[in-house]
């Protein structure tokens, strides 16, 4: 523990440099004060990181090292005392109204601080939200808040000891004890404090007459399955700045809500009946969060264009303009930021109407989704004009286009120089892909169900026919790189696509492409020379792709680490074309996979993962021998498989072994050779599901399984032999 604290202190205090000699002694004293606690070391480091080096010694000497108080409490107090500006202290203490270990969302925190009046910008150039994000960064830098990054999202939390300290700060003023409450029953609320309450988190419903008593409330959060109605007395909370009912089952909003003229943030979840008629009166609205995204038919608030301060609008279902729900309403919302989905674009009359949304001036939007609804063939004549009028700001990062029925895409695509990700789906009339090759920032490109596209030509790279003729003779294209940043390219369900043309030899294309996915493109037989993909690492060819395509690709690519073939008619011939051993191989849905082809795997000594799915004619894996590096072996739906690799017990690197729906497997391998022990010392997970013929799991198999931590057996009714000492 002490070493951990020492390394943290060193990491913070040196800032990439050697520790100055005058601080060597102080560092040792800091470690003693930390008492081996990483939290203490982290807090001290966070404090010092916000100060100039010449101030470090005085801070440590005067505030930390000479104090009579010891331990973490003193360190927390010093960190808190040095928070600047002063409102950050209020924001820090306010975080303690959440439970310990609560996952705190960035936008919600800032909106709560704003609702409580903690964010007061000094200049017109700074927004309350911008100030809130600065305060959040301060708390992170001083380690009073911790950032946690998950696979899909990032959140924040407080260490238990920090939470306790923040709560003591919040309750230091006796008035604060009555200002902020998080309770699970309205019965626990003392009516005497109702007038002083500013924040209320309440699980469960509340009577209409009781809610009206909280007349100075700034923040109200109602949650729980039994909360199904918002009392009409909500309209009496005239000081309310934030209302969060996203965790409730409230489906309608009362008209009285429209009297909350100070409301800045509204978070809703299960609303299905639409909004009250006079919602446009809420002119202080800055953030509308709606978590029930499946409700594509719900009508938006009428005349939402009056909410000129609005920043968060996650989607907009376009309606009739005469009802105040047309796309024109977006024109005055110049502060919109983040992500915006525009739905029902078939109701927009043409380019002029689309331009009224002023998307080209909304530079704070990083993601846009353009979606047309389903309609008959006669009503889609203006799709190209509408898309032309929806030109985004050049700073856009992500764009998704759904159900567009035009033949061609607008020229403004070439201006999206900051675009990182593009998805084009269900554009069934599209004949020609947009010119994308010169977009310098594009990293991810997904093309799906473009049923009328037969050829990916040179225009895809950003070269017109005229330019093609000129550049072929002049060699100007040799000075350009096309798709310079593209890392992922996916072509899926393009039923008529026959050809993907190669670029000219002098053109440099796809220099960093790492992953190529081709799925359900059954007519495609020609793609660029695989040497065009010098960085390709993962290749997946799935779902009825043409055998000629598979052979062309595999015969030339030499640097794959992962190969997946799915629903492919000639897997043996395809694998024989692979020139370099992969680290990962998956074969899925190959009905005629020859058993003897598994011997081919012996030539891949670097394989780390082999997955065989839905290959019913495999009867044995005895010829498979790639034990040196194999970490994962998964077999699913191989209904005639009877034998596993004969040297399975020698797979020393194997960590994960799975057998699912293999009803003819009776035993896991033969007994080890006489005098030879099982070497499955790395095996961590063994999954066996629906193997109805399995009769025994030999004890010898588990002799060396010292790493085994998970064993799952499911629906193996004939198992009669099982090691009892696991």
Q: Which domain holds residue 634?
A: 581-726
User: Residue 128 domain-assigned?
Assistant: yes
Give every CB contact of residue 324 below 8 A, 6+ residues apart in sequence. Answer: 280, 302, 303, 304, 305
Q: How far apart are CA 343 and CA 449, in angstroms?
A: 19
615-633 exposure pattern, b = at least 16 Cβ within 10 A, e = fewer: beebebbbbbbbbebbbbb
> What's the CA dihedral at 546, 547, 553, 555 to 10 degrees?
-170
| HEC profile of 640-699 | CCCECCCCHHHCCCCCEEEEECCCCCCECCCCCCCCCCCCCCCCCEEEEECCCCCCECCH
The reply to whether 588 falls in a domain is yes
Q: Kindly state whether residue 255 falls inside one of the protein's structural domains.
A: no
Give residue 3's pLDDT.
41
- How confident is the model at residue 524, as a pLDDT? 87
Q: First-to-last CA distance in the chain?
A: 33
Residue 137: count other Cβ atoms within 10 Å of its Cβ: 11
- State the pTM of this model: 0.83
Of 138, 156, 177, the last residue of a domain is 177
- 555 within a domain of the structure (yes/no): no
Last residue of a domain, one of 116, 150, 177: 177
Give the span between the Cα atoms of 450 and 403, in whole angstroms. 10
Half-sphere exposure (CA, 13 Å, Cβ side) for 575? 27
**Domain boundary residue among 177, 196, 226?**
177
In order along the chain (726 residues), what is the average pLDDT of each group of 10 residues? 48 53 61 65 69 63 57 82 92 94 95 96 89 96 90 91 92 68 71 82 83 90 91 94 94 95 95 90 96 73 96 94 92 97 95 97 97 74 92 98 94 95 95 91 97 92 64 55 95 92 83 91 84 84 67 62 66 49 74 62 73 86 74 92 84 93 84 63 94 88 87 92 72
- Residues across the chain: 726
**578 is written with which tokens?**
């692979």
**Domain count of the chain?**
2
pLDDT at position 39 is 73
**Assigned domain for 25 exists:** yes
CATH number at residue 31: 1.10.10.10
| Chain Cα centroid distance, residue 290 | 18
Distance (Å, whole) CA 426 – CA 309: 35
Residue 398 confidence (pLDDT): 98
- Measured distance CA(363)–CA(338) in Å, rounded: 10
Residue 417: the pLDDT is 95
Residue 59 in domain? yes
The pair of structure tokens assigned to 574 is: 């395809």
Looking at the domain assignment, is residue 113 inside a domain?
yes
What is the pLDDT, as a whole number, of residue 553? 64
Q: What is the CATH number of the domain that holds 706?
A: 3.80.10.10
Q: How many CB atoms lie within 10 A of CB 680?
A: 25
Per-residue confidence (pLDDT) for residue 59, from 0 to 100: 64
Go through 485-501 and write b for each residue having 16 or more CB atoms within 10 A of its CB, e for each that does not.
ebbebbbbbbbebbebe
Q: How many CB atoms lie within 10 A of CB 190?
A: 9
Residue 101 in any domain: the answer is yes
State the Cα–Cα distance between residues 268 and 230, nearest whole angstrom: 11
CB atoms within 10 A of CB 173: 11
């Amino acid at each position: 523990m002490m070493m951990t604290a020492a390394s943290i202190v060193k990491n913070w205090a040196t800032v990439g440099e050697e520790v100055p000699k005058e601080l060597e002694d102080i560092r040792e004293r800091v470690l003693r004060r930390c008492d081996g606690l990483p939290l203490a070391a982290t807090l001290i480091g966070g404090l010092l990181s916000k100060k100039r080096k010449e101030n470090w010694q005085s801070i440590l000497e005067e505030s930390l090292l000479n104090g009579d108080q010891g331990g973490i409490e003193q360190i927390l107090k010093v960190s808190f005392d040095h928070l600047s500006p002063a409102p950050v202290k209020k924001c820090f203490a306010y975080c303690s109204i959440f439970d310990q270990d609560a996952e705190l969302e960035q936008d919600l925190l800032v909106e709560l601080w704003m609702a409580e009046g903690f964010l007061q910008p000094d200049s017109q150039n700074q927004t309350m939200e911008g100030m809130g994000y600065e305060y959040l960064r301060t708390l992170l830098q001083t380690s009073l808040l911790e950032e946690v990054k998950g696979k899909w999202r990032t959140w924040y939390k407080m260490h238990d000891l920090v939470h306790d300290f923040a709560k003591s700060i919040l309750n230091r003023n006796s008035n604060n004890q009555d200002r902020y409450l998080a309770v699970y029953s309205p019965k626990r609320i003392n009516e005497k404090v109702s007038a002083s309450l500013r924040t209320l988190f309440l699980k469960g419903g509340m009577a209409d007459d009781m809610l009206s008593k909280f007349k100075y409330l700034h923040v109200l959060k109602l949650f729980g399955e039994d909360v199904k109605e918002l009392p009409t007395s909500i309209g009496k909370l005239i000081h309310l700045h934030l209302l969060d009912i996203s965790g409730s089952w409230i489906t309608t909003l009362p008209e009285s809500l429209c009297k909350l003229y100070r409301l800045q943030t509204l978070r809703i979840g299960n609303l299905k009946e639409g909004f009250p008629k006079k919602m446009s009166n809420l002119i202080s609205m800055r953030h509308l969060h709606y978590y029930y995204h499946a409700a594509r038919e719900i009508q938006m608030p009428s005349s939402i264009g009056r909410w000129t301060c609005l920043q968060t609008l996650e989607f907009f279902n376009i309606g009739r303009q005469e009802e105040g729900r047309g796309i024109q309403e977006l024109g005055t919302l110049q502060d919109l930021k983040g992500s915006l989905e525009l739905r029902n674009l078939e109701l927009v009359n043409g380019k002029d109407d689309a331009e009224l949304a002023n998307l080209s001036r909304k530079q704070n939007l990083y993601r846009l989704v353009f979606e047309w609804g389903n309609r008959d063939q006669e009503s889609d004549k203006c799709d190209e004009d509408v898309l032309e009028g929806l030109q985004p700001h050049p700073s856009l990062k992500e764009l998704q286009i759904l159900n567009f029925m035009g033949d061609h895409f607008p020229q403004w695509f070439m201006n999206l120089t900051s675009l990182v990700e593009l998805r084009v789906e269900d554009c069934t009339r599209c004949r020609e892909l947009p010119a994308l090759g010169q977009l310098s920032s594009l990293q991810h490109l997904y093309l799906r169900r473009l049923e009328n596209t037969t050829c990916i030509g040179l225009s895809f790279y950003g070269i017109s026919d005229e330019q093609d003729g000129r550049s072929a003779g002049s060699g100007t294209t040799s000075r350009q790189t096309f798709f310079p940043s593209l890392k992922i390219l996916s072509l899926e369900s393009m039923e008529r696509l026959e050809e993907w043309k190669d670029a000219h030899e002098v053109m440099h294309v796809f220099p960093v492409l790492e992953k190529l996915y081709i799925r359900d493109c059954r007519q495609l037989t020609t793609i660029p020379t695989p040497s065009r993909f010098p960085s390709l690492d993962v290749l997946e060819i799935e779902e009825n792709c043409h055998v000629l395509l598979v052979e062309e690709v595999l015969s030339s690519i030499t640097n794959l680490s992962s190969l997946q073939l799915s629903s492919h008619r000639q897997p043996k011939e395809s694998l024989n074309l692979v020139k370099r051993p992969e680290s990962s191989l998956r074969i899925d849905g190959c009905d005629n996979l020859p058993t003897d082809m598994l011997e081919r795997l012996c030539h891949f000594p670097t394989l780390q993962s082999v997955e065989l799915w839905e290959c019913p004619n495999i009867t044995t894996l005895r010829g498979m021998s790639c034990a040196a590096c194999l970490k994962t072996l998964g077999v699913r739906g191989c209904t005639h498989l009877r034998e596993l690799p004969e040297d399975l017990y020698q797979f020393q690197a194997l960590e994960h072994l799975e057998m699912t729906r293999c009803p003819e497997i009776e035993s896991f391998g033969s007994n080890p050779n006489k005098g030879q022990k099982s070497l499955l010392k790395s095996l961590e997970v063994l999954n066996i599901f629906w193997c109805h013929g399995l009769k025994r799991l030999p004890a010898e198999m588990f002799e060396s399984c010292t790493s085994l931590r998970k064993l799952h057996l499911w629906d193996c009714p004939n198992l009669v032999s099982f090691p009892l000492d696991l």
